[in-house]
Amino acid sequence: MVVLRQEFIKRFKHEPVLFRSPGRVNLIGEHTDYNKGFVLPASINLEMFFAIAPNASEKCRIFSYDLNESDEFSIKELKESEKRWNNYIIGVVAQFIKGHYKIGGFDCVFGGQIPIGAGLSSSAALECGIAYALNDLFRLNIDKLTLVKMAQKAEHEFAKVNCGIMDQFSSILGRENNAIMLDCQNLDNKYIPLNYTDDYALIIINSGVSHFHAISEYNKRIKECQTGVNFINKKEKRKFNSLRELDLDLIQRYKNTLDPIIYKRCQYVIEENERVLEASKALENGDIKKFGALMYQSHEGLKNLFDVSCKELDFLVDQTKTNSNVLGARMTGGGFGGCTINIVKKEFSDDFIKEISAEYKRKFSIKLKYYLTQIVNGTNKIF
Ligand code: GLA
């Protein structure tokens, strides 16, 4: 953070205000958010930091510290940038302009520890940090949920990913040592304390496979799910809005007529929603074994029915199955690469990391990165 502030002063010759915005891990409930289902994310201590201040002009001058790249744009003329990272920022600014909020130009230096393309929502952290900072700096009094929605829209319109609301919700509304049980249909939510942390560690393992190529597959999954709903609506003469409103009994009736791929997608989402409900109950009851078992089932569904895993993620999850010190493991995030999460008996964490790193190196010649995760508060200003 200190280096970002120094860099800001060196470049822009005035004093910045400092903000932070966390990435997220999703404990269970994958690809359910855009199907109006349930998710269980938590914001993590891999974060993005911002040194930012208005500059009394219409210009925005941005420096990405980690990439050592700068870019500029005018708030009067917002268009996509060739610098991919800046589209997340421009996308957020566009939401303020669209909403007729009064903002001016600003200078910003940002950077952080969230690996890019690893399924830990570096993009949401960037969007949410900028949205939160602009709201604060221009004294707009926008409530947090509206900021969440603005950040999500930025992703749709400028990053071209039709994502659900989970990542942005978690980044802004995360709470220390709690997961958020979020109903993406009506945004009802409740914090569930993670009481297991005395005995178990939540370890994130980065496969090193980037999911950047996966945007088109992600958007394809959204369409496939909608196709399933449309099919059932036509057959049933009903108006279901999303897979959230369907159940297994209903889709099973169409097992022979529904396209097999679409059937698998629908089955996965319906089952995963059930799992999130069970998993949050298990967490509340302190039943971490049950929670772990549900994580494995979730991974199986993502692998076999939703087809968003990859051989590296499957290997990492499979390795844990014979290790009695691991209660559960699954891929987390959009998939096609990125990370797995693992619930591991604390005292065996080091052994676990050593063993799995060696196996992974042997198999894929990739050096594993891992993160001993803490659950932290959502986006805020650093005083
Ligand atoms: C990405 C999206 C989220 C969610 C997950 C999959 O992270 O941004 O909205 O759909 O994938 O659960």
Q: Does domain 2-193 have CATH number 3.40.220.10?
A: no
- Tokens representing 53 are 């201040």
Q: Is residue 6 within 8 Å of 111, Cβ to Cβ?
A: no
Ligand 1 atom with the shortest distance to the CA of 119: 7
Ligand 1 near 334 CB (within 6 A): yes
| Nearest protein Cα to ligand 1, atom 8 | 163
Ligand 1 centroid vs 32 CA: distance in angstroms? 8
Ligand 1 near 333 CB (within 6 A): yes
**CB within 8 Å of 4: residues ≥ 6 apart:** 16, 18, 49, 50, 51, 65, 109, 110, 111
Phi/psi of residue 189, each to 5°? -150, 155
Summarised one tens digit per residue, pLDDT across range 28-70 is: 999 999 999 999 999 999 999 999 999 999 999 999 999 999 9
Instruction: With cut-offs at 50, 70 and 90, classify the pLDDT of residue 213.
Output: low
Instruction: With cut-offs at 50, 70 and 90, classify the pLDDT of residue 197.
Output: confident
Q: Which amino acid, 119?
A: G
Summarised one tens digit per residue, pLDDT across range 143-173 is: 999 999 999 999 999 888 899 999 999 999 9
Ligand 1 near 163 CB (within 6 A): yes
Q: Is residue 370 within 8 Å of 350, Cβ to Cβ?
A: no
Ligand 1 centroid vs 120 CA: distance in angstroms? 10
- Tokens representing 324 are 């009695």
Phi/psi of residue 226, each to 5°? -65, -40
Q: Does domain 200-372 have CATH number 3.30.70.890?
A: yes
| Nearest protein Cα to ligand 1, atom 2 | 163
3-state SS track over the chain: CHHHHHHHHHHHCCCCEEEEEEEEEECCCCCCHHHCCEECEEEEEEEEEEEEEECCCCEEEEEECCCCEEEEEECCECCCCCCHHHHHHHHHHHHHHHCCCCCCCEEEEEEECCCCCCCCCHHHHHHHHHHHHHHHHCCCCCCHHHHHHHHHHHHHHHCCCCCCCHHHHHHHHCCCCEEEEEECCCCCEEEEECHHHHCEEEEEEECCCCCHHHHHHHHHHHHHHHHHHHHHHHHHCCCCCCHHHCCHHHHHCCCCCCCHHHHHHHHHHHHHHHHHHHHHHHHHCCCHHHHHHHHHHHHHHHHHCCCCCCHHHHHHHHHHHCCCCEEEEEEECCCCCCEEEEEEEHHHHHHHHHHHHHHHHHHHCCCCEEEECCECCCCEEEC
Ligand 1 centroid vs 333 CA: distance in angstroms? 6
Ligand 1 centroid vs 278 CA: distance in angstroms? 20
Ligand 1 atom with the shortest distance to the CA of 164: 9
Ligand 1 atom with the shortest distance to the CA of 33: 10
Angle at which helices 122-137 and 84-98 cross, to 10° = 40
| Nearest protein Cα to ligand 1, atom 9 | 164
Ligand 1 near 338 CB (within 6 A): no
Of the candidates 33, 107, 167, 314, the residue annotated as catalytic is 167
Ligand 1 near 112 CB (within 6 A): no
Ligand 1 centroid vs 259 CA: distance in angstroms? 24
Residue 382: C-alpha distances to residues 1, 129, 144, 169, 251 (Å): 10, 12, 17, 20, 50
What is the distance between the alpha carbons of residues 380 and 140, in angstroms, rounded to a whole number?
15
The pLDDT, as a whole number, for residue 160 is 87
Summarised one tens digit per residue, pLDDT across range 329-368 is: 999 999 999 999 999 999 999 999 999 999 999 999 999 9
The pLDDT, as a whole number, for residue 125 is 98
Summarised one tens digit per residue, pLDDT across range 221-272 is: 999 999 999 999 999 999 999 999 999 999 999 999 999 999 999 999 999 9
The pLDDT, as a whole number, for residue 333 is 95
Residue 305 has pLDDT above 70, yes or no: yes
Q: Is residue 57 within 8 Å of 50, Cβ to Cβ?
A: no
Nearest to 378 by CA among 127, 16, 156, 129: 129
What is the distance between the alpha carbons of residues 309 and 207, in angstroms, rounded to a whole number?
11
pLDDT, mean of residues 297-314: 98
Ligand 1: residue of 120, 149, 167 to mutate (most ligand atoms within 8 A of CB) is 167
Ligand 1: residue of 24, 27, 33, 120 to mutate (most ligand atoms within 8 A of CB) is 33
Ligand 1 near 272 CB (within 6 A): no
Bridge partners of 73, per DSSP, are 60
Ligand 1 near 127 CB (within 6 A): no
Pairing relation of β-strands 69-74 and 189-193?
unpaired
Domain range summary for the chain, segments of one domain joined by +: 2-193, 200-372
Ligand 1 near 224 CB (within 6 A): no
pLDDT, mean of residues 74-83: 95
Q: Is residue 117 within 8 Å of 212, Cβ to Cβ?
A: yes
Task: Give me the half-sphere count of Cα atoms (radius 13 Å) on the Cβ side of residue 103.
Answer: 32
The pLDDT, as a whole number, for residue 13 is 98
Ligand 1 centroid vs 37 CA: distance in angstroms? 12
Summarised one tens digit per residue, pLDDT across range 100-128 is: 999 999 999 999 999 998 999 999 999 99
247 given a catalytic annotation: no
- Tokens representing 114 are 């969230």
The pLDDT, as a whole number, for residue 210 is 87
Pairing relation of β-strands 106-112 and 59-64?
parallel
Ligand 1 centroid vs 177 CA: distance in angstroms? 21
Residue 301 has pLDDT above 90, yes or no: yes
